[in-house]
Amino acid sequence: MPVYDQSYKRWEGSFKSHSFRWWVISKYGIKTALKKKWVKRLLVFSLLPFLLHAFWVYGLTQKGALTKFLPPLQGVRAIREMSGKVYHVQIEGAPEFFFEELRKQGLRSEVTGSELKITVPDGENSKSIRAIAKRTGTKITRLVPPGVKASFYNAYLNRQLLFLFILLLAVGSGLISKDVKFNALQIYLAKPITAMEYILGKLGIAVFFSVMVTVVPGLFLFLIQAILVGDSLYLRHYWWVTGAICGYSLLVIFSSTLIVLALSALSRNARSAAFGAAALFWFSPMIARMLRSWTWNDKYLLISFLHNCKSAGEKIFGLSATTDVSWGWSFLIVMAIMALCAVALVRRVRAVQVVK
Amino acid sequence: MIDIEGLTVRYGSSVALDEVSFSVKGPAIGLLGPNGAGKTTLIRGLLGFLKPVKGTGTVLGHGILTERLRVRQLVGYLPEDDCIIPDMSAVKFLAYFGELCGMPKDDATQRAHEILHYVGLGEARYRNVETFSAGMKQRIKLAQALIHDPKLLLLDEPTNGMDPTGREEMLYLIKNISREKGIGVLVSTHLLPDVEAVCDEIVVINKGKVAVQGDIAELKGENRKVYEVKVRENRERFCEQLVRCGYEWKEWRDGMIKVYVPEEEGATKIFSAAKDTGSQIRHLVFEKSSLEQVFMHSVTEAEEE
C-alpha cells in the first residue's frame, strides 16, 4: 500500500449552509487587495485628514490643556481663561442664589436671550451644573452639552470622498471586468451560488474599503470627541450625528460602488471602467460648474454626481442648502443612478452572454 | 442520471435546441455532434445558465429549472473556454472554489492539494494559473470541477488544445473517475476516439435535435456482423427472404442494403436467400462498423430528413 495515495478520494465532509457564501468572494477579494502595497499606502494616507480633524477636535475641547504647551503670552493666557465647556441651559425663573452658587464653584455664566451659557472648567461636566441646581432648588428645563457642529462631520466626510473615489477606482474597477475577460463567470456560476450572491460578494469588497475611509474614521472621530468632552450627556444629545455619518457615508458608498461595479461589468478592461467612473466622479462636477457659471442657473448642478451626493448629505446632517437646487431632486438622481447600475449588473453578470 | 423532455432553447430568433428529449443512465455518456450542433447549449441548459423556451428535465433527480443550486452542488463543470482567475495560485484557485461550494476552509485547502496531485499539477500548485500552458489549463479546469466531489461531471471538450500525451492522460483520468470512482461523466466533444475511449453510451445531436442515442456497442453492432449487399433482380423478394432467415436489413447508399448477421454466422444464408429468390449478388462486403460510421450515418440521416 502506498504511503500516500494520490488517486482520487471522495470527500466525506458536509457542506456549510448556503447563507453567506457571498462572503467567501468578499473575503478573498479583500485579502488579495490588501496584499498590494499601494492599497495599504492609500489606506494609511487616507488617515491623514482624520488625524488633522482629531487634532482640531482636541483643540476645541481641550483649549486649556493645549495652552499648557504654549509660552505664557497674554493671548495664550486669555485663551486659558476662556477655556472650558460651554453648556446651553434653560432654567425656570432666574434665582439669584443659583448664579451666586455658580460663581462660587468657578463656573462662568452669561445670559443670552432666554438661554443661559454656563462655562464648566475642563475636567468637569454637566454633573456640576445639575448638582448646583439641586442644591439651590432650581429646575433645569433644558441642558445642551457642548459639541462640534454637524457641518464639521459633513465637511470631514466630503473631504474623504477623494480617497473613497481613488480607492474605488483602484480596487473596484477590475472586480468584475477581469472575470468577464478571463471567462471566470461561468465557473463561478457553475458552483452553487447565484448571480446575486456573486454581485453581493464583489460589492462586499468595494464596500469594505469604502467603509474604511468614511464610516470608520467618521465614527471614530465622533467617539474621540465624546471621550474628550467627558460627558455622557454628549452622547445622549448628539447620537443622531452617528446616524448622519452612517447614512451619508452609506449613500455615497453604495451609489459609487454600484457605479464602479456596473462599469466594471460592462467592460472587459479594468482601465476603461476606471476611466468611465472617474469621468462621472470628477468630470461631471466640472461640466456642471462650467454650465452654471455660464447660465447662472443652479439646476445644472444636478448633472454633477458629487453635487447630488453632497446635497443629499447636507439634508442628512440637517444643514441648510448651499444652492438653490432641491435636495430631493439630488437624492432622486442618486437613487436613479443606483437603480440603473443595479439593472446593468444583473443583466451583465451571467454565465452566458447571449448575443442576439 | 439525466432526463430531458422536449427542451427547446433559442438564441434570439435562432433555435439552438429543438425539443430535445433523452434519458441516459451513465456512468459515462458521450455527447456527440458537429460544430454548432447544440452540445454546449445543452450542457449550459442542464446547469441552468440558459432559460429554455419549452421543456424541462432533471439531473440526478433534481429539476434543472426548479433546483438549479442543488444541481450545481452535485455537478462539476469543465467549460470549453479558458477560465481562470488571474493573480491566483493553482492551490488557492481550487480552495477558493471549494469554499464557494460550501466546504470548510481547511478541507477545501487540503482537498485542493489532493486534487492537484490527482490531475498531475502537483508540482505546479503554487504557480499562478495564468502562467499555465493550454494543457495545464485543461487540467486545472478538471480539478476545479472535481473540488467539491461532485456526483456528475459535465465536460465540454475536455481534451481541447492538449498534446497527444496530455490527451491520453486526460482520457485516462476521465475513465478512472467514471469507472472506478463512481462519478458520472458527460463528455461533450466532436472527437469520436475520445468518446470511444471513455464512454459506454452516446447521444448524438445535430442541428439542435437528437439524431441518435444509445449504447455504443449496440449502435456499432459489435454483437453482430454487417454486410453491404447489392443485388440485381427480385430485390424485394430477396429482402423478404432475409427477414424470414431472421436477419435485419437497412437501405444503404447507391441501392445497396446493409444486412445484420449474428456474430457466429457467416454469409451463407445471404447466398442461400439470393439463390432461393433468383437474385444475383453483385456486391458483398463484410463491414466492420465504427463509431465514426454510426455518427456519420446518424448525422446524414438527420440532414436528409
What is the DSSP code string of A90-150? EESS--HHHHHHHHHTT-EEEEETTEEEEEEPTT--HHHHHHHHHHHTPPEEEEE-----H
Residue A287 contacts by C-beta under 8 Å, 6 or more apart in sequence? A303, A304
Strands B14-24 and B28-32: unpaired
Residue B125 has pLDDT above 60, yes or no: yes
pLDDT score at B152: 93
Under 8 Å between Cβ of B86 and B106 = no
CB contact under 8 A, B47 and A356: no
A11 touches chain B (CB under 8 A): yes
B117 touches chain A (CB under 8 A): yes
Residues paired with B152 in a beta bridge? B75, B184
Higher per-residue confidence, B24 vs A138: B24
Chain A residue at shortest CA distance from B88: A32
**C-alpha–C-alpha distance, residues B298 and B207, integer Å:** 12
Chain A residue at shortest CA distance from B92: A28
pLDDT score at A205: 95
pLDDT score at A69: 66
- pLDDT average, residue stretch B247-262: 82
Residue A251 has pLDDT above 80, yes or no: yes
**What is the percentage of chain B residues whose pLDDT exceeds 70?**
95
Q: Which of A145-159, B145-159, B190-204 has the highest mean pLDDT?
A: B145-159
Q: Cα torsion for A208, A212, A216, A217, to the nearest 10°?
A: -170
Q: What ranges in chain B are assigned the alpha helix state H?
A: 39-46, 68-74, 90-100, 105-118, 134-146, 164-180, 192-198, 216-220, 235-244, 268-277, 291-304
Residue with C-alpha cell 444636478?
A: A302
What's the grid cell of residue A266?
460592462
- pLDDT average, residue stretch A178-199: 92
The per-residue pLDDT of chain A, averaged, comes to 85
Chain B residue at shortest CA distance from A176: B85
pTM: 0.83
pLDDT score at A198: 95
User: Of A65-69, B33-37, B68-72, B285-289, which gets the smallest average pLDDT?
Assistant: A65-69
CB contact under 8 A, A190 and B75: yes
Residue with C-alpha cell 488557492?
A: B92
CB contact under 8 A, B50 and A7: no
SS3 A240: helix
ipTM rounded to 2 decimals: 0.81
**What is the percentage of chain B residues whose pLDDT exceeds 90?**
32
pLDDT score at A355: 60
Nearest to A191 among B82, B100, B130 (CB): B100
CB contact under 8 A, B84 and A184: yes
**C-alpha–C-alpha distance, residues B46 and B55, integer Å:** 12
**What is the percentage of chain A residues whose pLDDT exceeds 70?**
89
Nearest to A190 among B77, B107, B176 (CB): B77
- Identify the sign of the CA torsion A81, A83, A84, A85: positive
Chain A residue at shortest CA distance from B69: A192
- Closest by CA to A191, choosing from A30, A27, A351, A4, is A351
Q: Which of B101, B153, B169 is best to mutate for the A interface (most A CBs within 10 A)?
A: B101
Under 8 Å between Cβ of A209 and A261 = no
Nearest to A182 among B84, B101, B118 (CB): B84
Cα distances (angstroms) measured from residue A341 to each of A263, A264, A347, A348, A351:
8, 11, 10, 10, 19
- pLDDT average, residue stretch B161-173: 89
pLDDT score at A2: 47
Q: What ranges in chain A are assigned the alpha helix state H?
A: 22-34, 37-45, 47-61, 63-67, 74-82, 96-104, 126-136, 150-167, 177-181, 185-189, 195-213, 215-229, 232-266, 270-278, 284-295, 305-316, 327-348
Chain A residue at shortest CA distance from B105: A24
Residue A299 binned pLDDT confidence (cut-offs 50, 70, 90): confident
Cα distances (angstroms) measured from residue B171 to each of A153, B122, B193:
64, 18, 10
Residue A252 binned pLDDT confidence (cut-offs 50, 70, 90): very high
Q: Using the CB atoms, write b or e for B186-206: b if 16+ within 10 Å.
A: bbbbebbebbbbbbbbbbbbb
Burial class from Cβ neighbours inside 10 Å (0-12, 13-18, 19+) for residue A23 reads middle
CB contact under 8 A, A179 and B85: yes
Nearest to B181 among A8, A186, A194 (CB): A8
- pLDDT average, residue stretch B156-181: 88
Under 8 Å between Cβ of B55 and B213 = no
- pLDDT average, residue stretch A346-353: 85
Under 8 Å between Cβ of A278 and A216 = no
Residue A3 has pLDDT above 60, yes or no: no
Hey, which residues 57-76 in chain B have their CB within 8 Å of chain A?
A: 69-70, 72-73, 75-76
Hey, which residues 20-49 in chain B have their CB within 8 Å of chain A?
A: 44, 47, 49
pLDDT score at B213: 85
Residue A196 has pLDDT above 60, yes or no: yes
User: Of A125-134, A233-242, B7-16, which gets the smallest average pLDDT?
Assistant: A125-134
**C-alpha–C-alpha distance, residues B69 and B48, integer Å:** 9
Residues paired with B114 in a beta bridge? none
pLDDT score at A134: 80
Under 8 Å between Cβ of A199 and A260 = no
Q: Which of A23, A191, A354 is best to mutate for the B interface (most B CBs within 10 A)?
A: A191
**C-alpha–C-alpha distance, residues A339 and B6, integer Å:** 37
Residue B223 has pLDDT above 70, yes or no: no
Higher per-residue confidence, A235 vs A159: A159
Residue B122 DSSP class: G
**C-alpha–C-alpha distance, residues A14 and A17, integer Å:** 9
pLDDT score at A1: 38
The per-residue pLDDT of chain B, averaged, comes to 87
pLDDT score at B303: 62
Nearest to A13 among B85, B96, B104 (CB): B104
Cα distances (angstroms) measured from residue A192 to each of A91, B47, B65, B86:
65, 10, 14, 22
CB atoms near residue A82 (< 10 Å): 13
Chain A residue at shortest CA distance from B46: A190
**Would you call the peptide bond into B27 cis, given omega within 30 degrees of 0 as the criterion?**
yes
Residue A253 contacts by C-beta under 8 Å, 6 or more apart in sequence? A164, A207, A210, A211, A214, A215
Nearest to A192 among B44, B72, B146 (CB): B72
**C-alpha–C-alpha distance, residues B145 and B161, integer Å:** 18
Higher per-residue confidence, B264 vs B268: B268
Burial class from Cβ neighbours inside 10 Å (0-12, 13-18, 19+) for residue B102 reads buried
Residue B66 DSSP class: T
pLDDT score at B141: 93
**C-alpha–C-alpha distance, residues B111 and B103, integer Å:** 10
